[in-house]
Structure 1
Amino acid sequence: MRPRVSGTAARESSSADPRRDTPALALPFAAVAGIGLLTVVLPPYDRPWWVAGLAALSLVPVVIVFFVSQRRDEASWLHPLAAYLLFPYAALLHDAAGASAGGSASGMSVFLLLPILWLAITGTLRQLWVASALAVLTFAIPILVIGAPSYPSGDWRRAVVWAAVALVIAPVLQRIVRDLERQGRRARVASERVERLFDDAPHGVALLDPAGRIIRVNTSMAVLVGLDPPEMVGHELGAFESPGEDRIQDHVVRLVSGRDQALESECTLRDSGGNDVSVSLSSTVVGDRGMGEVIMVNVVDISDRRRYLDRLSHLADHDVLTGLANRRRFESELQRHLDRCRRHGPTGALLLLDLDNFKQVNDSLGHNAGDQLLVTIGGLLRRAVRDTDVVARLGGDEFGVILTDGDQDGATRVGHSIVDLVRAHAATLDGVRRRVTASVGAVTFKAASEHATDILALADMTMYDAKDAGRNQIAVLPEGELRPPRSAARLLWQSRIEAALEHDRFELHLQPIMNLADDRITSAEVLLRLREEDELVPPSRFVYIAERVGLMPLVDAWVVEHSVEMLAKLRRIDPTFALEVNLSGHSIGRPDVEQAICDSLTVHDVDPSALILEITETAAVGDVALARAFAERITDLGCAFALDDFGAGFGSFYYLKHLLFDYVKIDGEFVAHVHESQVDRTILRSIVGIARDLGKRTVAEFVSSPDILAVCRAEGVDLAQGFLIGKPVPYDEFVSTFLTAQVALPTA
């Protein structure tokens, strides 16, 4: 069985050997040969009938060779032997015609052109030489065998002429034919290449008539809409567009009208499964000799790019962690609602929410736990309001809610609902997250218009009213009252803090620390107070404001300068006395604070080892590398460090290992009930043991009773601090109470 040849292989075979074609090329030769035979057999004729019969029989092997060669794959379908066998046929016709003409001057010798032309078109140059030799023999043999008078020697001239035709003219014709074949082959290859490029293009290609109807599409185009190419032909390309859109029709009209020679646009196709596919159209009008003007449309699937761009657009307006709107989107929606209120009257409210004690979650349980809590709170807020309302994460643990409609009562109800939801959710969690609550500030747009103040600032101040009132609640700015939020005082606190720095209105109180080895007060912790007329303001009321407005480094620098000055006086009373000074996390690594430490120690000529800088564990958590570098630089001066609130954070022992601390101040939560709780006592014992092994001293905070003090002694705590030892007092009272005469403490 002959092997099947694929269409591509057939095309390649045809291109490689153009002579292998249909037998149609043999028909003209056959027709001429038949006409020649017919002229011989028609009367009058003088030669015997068998001459014409021999001529007819001589065509039989030509036909046989031709059909036999058709079944041979390795040979050209026009086998040269068939051409060679035409020479005896031509000789017989020449002889018969010459006899009937009364001599050798026969016009039938023209039939020698049949094999010569045959081989010039289909043969090789060598085969033409063979044909030339056969042409000469066709004339020479009768002259030599039969001779005059039938075949005079003058026939040699005719033989020479035919040999020249075969050797000179036929090769020229052959070159012409070969050139035409090569050009045709190149044209076919180019056409096939164009066909393959069209059919195999990785993107969709469609040819349209000026009316937008599909003339032809490639496979990729058909795949885009889930059909076969023939099913799309004849339909308008716009018929495959998503319902309700007419971008393709407009695209075609603009091209045909000549407004654009090349045009790009985007549209959405609807595939056979009902799915939308975003595509980019790139079209141009091309001329075609057969069809006139044709619109060629390149169609590229940009669904992935569109999804990527949509994702980028979403990320630009939404918080990555919670999926809620971000501050940028929130401010845009707020401005849009304010414009609406100006046109149609104020309605709705703005709520700002801040999570209480959230920092402890990050510090004690890690940032992953904090992130998960934020995601959960975001979901709770989204479910607590309507779909038309806007919920956003403004940064950190702060959220904003825009209620697009409603009054003050409605805003109050939503605020209470949010507070209850957060508290209820936190109650189901373990550890420090139980203490997470929400402080909410609510301001209606009507109240904001009455105050003629930025509603975002009013809501922020109102939220801090909730915090100052004890947290875990909502504060609402009443409508119809011009009294500003109580936390508007926070805006005044900045100027008050700045004034206190300028006019030395801060005061330093000292809380004694007892050395349990000899029950002597050998050091004290410096605690900051702010004098406001007759009121002494504790740091809890203004430190967070100073941190929020960026004034804390200045405050810490003031504290350091005055603490070192106080330390110099205390050491004149007790040369071994030491002071512990708290530093805010906002001051760690600040050059101005470091410079204040160095300058103060130099100015007052104080031994640096007498200055103990306290850094809370939560401050160290913020940036361990920064805290370590700061501690290394200050330690090089000779100062000591204490890690405050040790045990309150998740990474306590990690920081104890990686940071340079001389003292470990045990968090009061593990000390306050150590005489009643075996768990607290075990924790206390483990902290003391680890600190001792690391060469660090321990300080127990919240020592408020003799029983607690006794446990601390028994477990090996080095220093004790608390109301039992002494409350914070001004400098003069501290000196008179704790340094002039050491007071005996009650025992358990």
Structure 2
Amino acid sequence: MSRLRELLGSLSARIILACVLLEAVVLGLLVLSGAQLMDGALRTQAALRVEQSKPLLNAALAAPLAEEDIVTLQEILRESRSAQALSYLVLLDREGKPIASEGWNMSRRLPPVDTELRLDLADGFFDVEMPIELAGQSYGRLHFGIALQALRDTARQLVAQNVAIGTGAILGSLGLLVVVGRWLTRPLKRLTGAAQRIAEGSFDVRLRVSSRDEVGTLTRAFNTMAAAIAERMQALQEAHALQECYLAQSRAEHARLSALLSAMTIGILFVDEQDRIVYHNPALCRLLGIDADAELDGHAVQALAALAAVRGVSDDCFASGEGRVNTQELPLSDGTVLTRTAHPVCNEDGQPIGRLWILNDVTVERRTSQQLVYLAERDPLTGLYNRRSFQHELQRRLAHAGRQGTQVALLMFDLDEFKLVNDRFGHQAGDKVLIQIAAEVGALVRRSEFFARLGGDEFALICEPEGPEMLRALCQRVVQAVARLPVAFRGQSLRLTSSLGIALFPEHADNPEELVARADAAMYQAKEAGRNGWQVYDRERDVTDEKLARIGWNERLRRALDQDRFVPLFQGIYDARDGSLQHYELLLRLRDDADPARLITPGQFIAHAERSGLIREIDRWVLSRAVAALAAVPSLPAVAVNISGRSFEDPALPRHIDRELRRHGVAPHRLLVELTETAAVGDLRDAQRLIGQLHAMGCRVCLDDFGSGFASFAYLKHLPADVLKIDGLFVRNLARDRDDLVFVRAIVDVAKGLGKVTVAEMVEDEETLALLRSVGVDQVQGYHLGRPQELHACVVERMEEQT
């Protein structure tokens, strides 16, 4: 074993072994390459034989096949098989049915045609198919196979010959290497002895260079040791140059980092463990009002507080932290709000080496947040508290009064015949009147009283009366303030009046809902008494025709929901340029109980549904019917559904929509949800939440009746709708009122700038349609283009358009 280890450790044995391995690898590659070349040559030869056989077979079979001479065809197949050395032939007619075969059972299924000729095909045949044509006309196909066994045998024989030749070459070269190796390693033994003497300390040993082999190499290495030392010195100089290069790169990187920190708008400050300033960027000085040329590096961080004291920065703003991230808000004397965040800085071992301070100006964010809070609590048109704030305040005051045993008065009033102002002079005039009313009555309200707009022209005032006289005086001042208000539109002076109702807690109701209902009933009692006055809630007069009508409508709507008496109609929305259908809007109708052929419009029952709360169930019913229609008719591009403002605050509505879309397998982008602008602005926070959830599901959102609000444009950035539907008030008289055209053009310009689609409703004639096209409205809707119809009529119309 030791002898074998010593033999394998010698240089000659290693050379011989390496050469043998190299030759084995090279010869193996040659054999493999030869096998591949042989395989390619055999495949080429077989493919050539196939291509040569095709015209011969076509010429022999075309005429008999055209004459349907089966006997002749069978004889030709038999002769072709033996002449062309084919394994089998099957002749198929035009329909692909076998009519003659040779070497193949026609009851068996034909193998698939091979796209590539390979010797390793599983079935052992190269299956080919060719058309049989005569005079450019095809009469059938010929399916035949070529046996690959002969080609495989030839390839094996050639590989075996190459392996035998390679083995002989390796054995011959092995013998030659043994002889040459022993001859070459003799001088190496002499060099080994000289090397051992040098290892023992005889550095004066010199050997004559007598050859250029390994001995000569070792000798030259010994004689050129000094040169090697010089080369090592040169390597050290190169390493030093490389170090200088790295240093230059580090300095450039430092310069880039400094430029980045200097360009940032947030303040950056690094301090060490002793709270000395290591670095600060220009933004820090700008935010703190410090001279940009002030030398701060190396000074204590408290120097910043001293220099920034003029802006109201206190001494404790830059106090040392406790080794953890902490944030502090710094309100400055000029109203600016900064946030200061401290981050500990540690080295690779986790030891603290200082802190990083980041200062950021969040003044705009704070003001925006305050504005959103204001919008969530206030009515956007008048600036008064909205319905949500009113409900919270009423509940709070009733709870406090219940604990203290005091009285709370709720005053509710609206404007008499306010609808005539909107219908005659437009919604802008109505908005102006509401703003004036809010200002006049608001001037009469004391700090302890709560004044809110509930919606439309309905206002409410909560107070804690000191006695009946004070309450009567307040009511009289409110009614007189409305009556004295000067209102003039288009040169006409109007006199507005109001009706005010009063309900007292706990005399008339012991909870917020009933108190609002009693005050509302008192307001209608004031209208019955002649309007322009006020009434305290009277239980004896509460059962009025109005209330009975409401109760009747509530029962009627509940019965319509239970008995499925609502009728969905669909009206098309078309492209303003080419008239192509874009989507449908679902319009709700109620089938009359007395006359089933009569359909009641929403204007007669939606208000009752909103008061009773049934509007939420109706909205869900409409949404479910819209999704079912989209699922039933895939050709419908999309359907728009208008939901009430009372559904905004329903947290389960988005889940209902998502569940219906998933249940019916409808793509969310085919459902377009329309929100009335006034309702959305009146309940901004819930509207924003609903729009965000609809967008997250993939549904589109349309802002309906756009332009009816006083501050429509201002709220577009808070209501990210995809489509703006222009209020029909500005479209209906567009051809006769150029002021409306100016307003529509402004809406279109703003919508295009925000990337939103515009839809104009109530298009009743061709002249109005032409004007809408001229200002760039995207889509139109109205009786001029198509009336509302049931779903089956829409399907028929859609099919006719597609055909």
Q: Does TM, normalized by the shorter one, top 0.5? A: no
Q: What range describes the TM-score normalised by the shorter chain of this pair?
A: 0.3 to 0.5
Larger Rg: 1
